Amino acid sequence: MMKLGELAGSGALGRHASDGLYFRTGPFVTRLETAYPPVLDLLARFYGETEVFPDPVIASFNVAIRRPLGPRRWWRAQALFAIEDTLPFEPYPLSHAYPLLEWGLNWSIATRSNHFLMLHAAALERGGRALLMPATPGSGKSTLGAALAFRGWRLLSDEFGLIERASGRVAPLPRAIPLKNRSIPVIRDYLPEAELGPEFEKTRKGTVAHVRPPDDCIRRQTETAAPAWIVFPRYIAGHPTNLRPIPKGLAFVRLAQNSFNYRVLGRVGFQHLTDLIRRCACYSVEYSDLDSVIAALGDMTAAPGPEVP
């Protein structure tokens, strides 16, 4: 198996990427075309352990980061994200080419991958069982997810709870974790061992910096996990940790609202979401202190599971 990191630094990566670099992204293979080296450098730095394919394989997404022809190639230079022959987004400043690739890939996954029930959630694994944390606004899910990923949990995904429709299991999609604004100093302070990429300023979401995913979660990116817990986190400054079971009906409704394709899947989506909720213990947690919420989640995994309607 060839790894992305092995191609980096030798010029081989650039040669591959100019006529299509095939690399693994969790359950998917992405084909990337780009002639812009900084994007490749960062990709290799974050995903050095990911598998690359020297010969063409069937790719789920065929994407490119290009520079426009015409004046904007050089004057206030721009970058374009293309999937197949369409450009789903407005051009970005060239200096934001890397976040554009990450966003574009997320968009591509979310609009196409209907062989999964796709939840907008962070997912982590411990002892073969998966924790799903839906991304309600203000939840602090990326910060909490990043913290857990370095405190005894395996990061499955920061953005996607991918439920395999055939098995009901959670498929990993480990990617660099984009931290926004105030989360960046929080994580720098809390996780000195975590490696952060460059800070991209003045993006659509303010300043963004990516946490490099732990190598182990990339190496195990095809290893699925059984869903066991659904926890709706909510960050409230100064609030003590309060983890408590919630009714499954409520969890269902809130999860349906935090899904990328629940509506598109129709009846199939309803069936899979119902199955998922039945299998999982459902909680909500308010928190402000990371140590304390991590401890509470650890206790939760030891408990037999709550009795709730």
Partner 1 sequence: MSPLLRLFARPETAPHLSPTEWNLVLRAGHSQHLLARLGFRLEAHGVADACPRAAWDALEGARYFAELIQVQVAREVRAIRKALAPLGTEVILLKGAAYQLAGLPLSLGRHASDLDVLVQREQLAAVEARLLASGWEATKLNAYDQRYYRTWMHEIPPLRHRDRDIEVDVHHALLPLTSRLHPDPALLWAESVPLDRPGLRVLDPCDMLLHTAAHLFQDGEVKDGVKDLLDIQGQLEAFADQTDFYPRLLERARRLELGRPLYYALTFAHLMLEVPVPQGVLAEVRAFGPGPLADALMRRLVTRVLDPHYPLRREPVIAQWLLYARSHWLRMPPGLLTGHLSRKAWLRLTERPGHPVARPPSQGGDDPLA
Residues that bind partner 1 (CB under 8 A): 29, 31, 55-60, 62, 84-90, 103, 106-107, 109-115, 118, 120, 159-160, 204, 258-266, 268
Between 55 and 307, CB nearer to partner 1: 55
Between 125 and 159, CB nearer to partner 1: 159
CB of 83 to partner 1, least distance (A): 8
CB of 31 to partner 1, least distance (A): 7
Distance from C-alpha of 159 to C-alpha of 145, rounded to nearest angstrom: 10
CB of 239 to partner 1, least distance (A): 25
Token pair, residue 69, equals: 């022809």
CB of 203 to partner 1, least distance (A): 10
Between 143 and 191, CB nearer to partner 1: 143
CB of 204 to partner 1, least distance (A): 8
**Computed from CA positions of residues 148, 150, 151, 157, in that sequence, does the dihedral angle turn out positive or negative?**
positive
Q: What angle do CA 119, 122, 127 make, to 5 degrees?
A: 110
Between 112 and 129, CB nearer to partner 1: 112
CB of 89 to partner 1, least distance (A): 7
Between 263 and 279, CB nearer to partner 1: 263
CB of 111 to partner 1, least distance (A): 5
Between 89 and 190, CB nearer to partner 1: 89
Between 22 and 46, CB nearer to partner 1: 22
Three-state helix/strand/coil letters over the chain: CEEHHHHCCCCHHHHHHHCCEEEEECCEEEEEEECCHHHHHHHHHHCCCCEEECCCCCCCEEEEEECCCCHHHCCCCEEEEEECCECCCCCEEHHHHHHHHHHHHHHHHHHHCCCEEEEEEEEEEECCEEEEEECCCCCCHHHHHHHHHCCCCEEEECCEEEEECCCCCEECCCCCEEEECCHHHHHHHHCCCCCECCCEEEECCEEEEEECCCHHHHHCCCCCEEEEEEEEEEECCCCCCEEEECCHHHHHHHHHHCECCHHHHCHHHHHHHHHHHHHCEEEEEEECCHHHHHHHHHHHHHCCCCCCC
CB of 63 to partner 1, least distance (A): 11
Between 168 and 245, CB nearer to partner 1: 168
